Structure formats: structure tokens, C-alpha cells
Amino acid sequence: MFAFGGILRQFRRGVPGAPTPAGVPVDRRSELEAELTPVLSRLEPAQREADAIVAAARIEADRRRAVALKTATQLVAQARAAALAEQRRASEARLTGADAERRALLETAHREAERIERAAQDRVPSLVTELAARLQEGAR
């Protein structure tokens, strides 16, 4: 749908008020460009400065990112080395514990073997006597 109000507004200049002379339809776009071009051209140095600040910030951000990556890589390497060292210490502790347990078991086994040997030696004379008695009974 076509808006007639828009067409009528083109023939007016300024604020409503006293009648103005009739004229050619106003090209608002051209008027705005003519009005704003000098103002916006004054902003060009500020825009260049802002662009330079943004570029410098990007460079600084890239530098900081690289430093952070390097630091993170070093921290990960240190953590891995510390983890390996801790694993070695834990393994050594387990081996030391296992070795102590092995030695204790060997001592216990030796003591038990000695006890069994003493018990066997203590029983030998009575077993020999009993065997001799049985052999004599069987010979009769």
C-alpha cells in the first residue's frame, strides 16, 4: 500500500508552522549526507586511532596467548615429570615393602623348618625304638 503522507512530507521544509513557498520535493538523503559529511569527516582521525588501538590490542592478545600457551606447556611438562617421579617413589615403596615382607616370610619359613627338624630329631629315637620293637615282635 502506498503512503500519501510520505509524499506530502517531502514538500515541507522544517517544522510545521507558517506556510512556505512551494518547491521541488526535498531529497532527504542528499540533505543528510551534505549535513553529516563534514561532521563525520572530523571523526576520521578518531576512527584511525581506534583502529590502531584495536590492532595493537590484537597483537598484545596474540602475544599474551603465546606466553600463556608456553607457560601451560611448561606446567604440563612439570606436572608429568612430577607424576613420573611420584610413580617411581610409590613403586620403590611397594618394592621395599614387598622385599621386607619376603624377608619376614623367609625368616618364618626358616624358623618353621628348624622347628620341624628339631621335632623330627626329638622323635627319631622313640620311633627307632618303636620300630625295633615291632620288628622283634614280627620276628617271633
Tens place of pLDDT per residue across the chain (140 aa)? 555 556 666 665 555 556 656 655 567 778 888 888 888 888 899 999 999 999 999 999 999 999 999 999 999 999 999 999 999 999 999 999 999 999 999 999 999 999 999 998 888 888 888 888 888 887 76
Q: For the chain, what's the residue count?
A: 140
CA distance 35 to 24: 19
Return the pLDDT at 111: 96
Q: What pLDDT score does 138 carry?
A: 76
Query: Residue 11: which of 19, 22, 3, 1 has the closest Cα?
Result: 22
